[in-house]
Amino acid sequence: MTKLSIETEIAIRRLVDQYCDGVIRRDASIWGATWSVDAHWNLGMGREVLGKKAIVDLWTTAMGAFNWTIQTAEHFSLNIDEANGTGSGHVVVRERYERTDGTRGDLLAKYIDQYVKIDGEWLFAERILEIIERN
């Protein structure tokens, strides 16, 4: 693995931070801007979508079941090919949330990511969610 430039590492960390911020703010434009047009999102349990529009539509519908959600990224592991503008990574996330029925919960999970650089911007090409624990 070649050494990752600080600029690329910061850009991908900002991408993940923007994703989390979009969740926290419940803002589809912030959150949706993290995806490439032909992205793939797999949430497990048969919830899998292709294409940015379908991803944002699913997310918007899903977020309607929550009063609030706080998502944080706790650990990153990146393997990036800067020359080709592609890469992969693992991101550990934690969520605390309250559903519209008042039920509160916690989620500990890992995203297995594929990144792509398009027009100078790093985006998610794929995110696969692996749930570790849900309470």
At 93, which CATH number?
3.10.450.50
pTM over 0.85: yes
Q: Decide if 1 is inside a domain.
A: no
Q: How many domains does the chain contain in total?
A: 1
When pLDDT is averaged across residues 93-118 and rounded to a whole number, the result is 97
Higher local confidence (pLDDT), 45 or 133: 133
Does the residue 106 lie in any domain?
A: yes
Give how far Cα 90 sits from Cα of 26, 96, 117, 118, 127, Å: 23, 20, 17, 20, 9
**Taking residues 91-106, what's their average pLDDT?**
97
Phi-psi region of 115 (alpha: psi -120 to 50; beta: other; left: phi over 0): beta
Predicted confidence at residue 2, as pLDDT, reads: 60
In a domain, 113, yes or no: yes
Q: Is residue 40 part of a domain?
A: yes
Classify residue 87: in a domain, yes or no.
yes
Q: Is the pLDDT of residue 22 over 90?
A: yes
Q: Domain range spanning residue 62?
A: 6-134
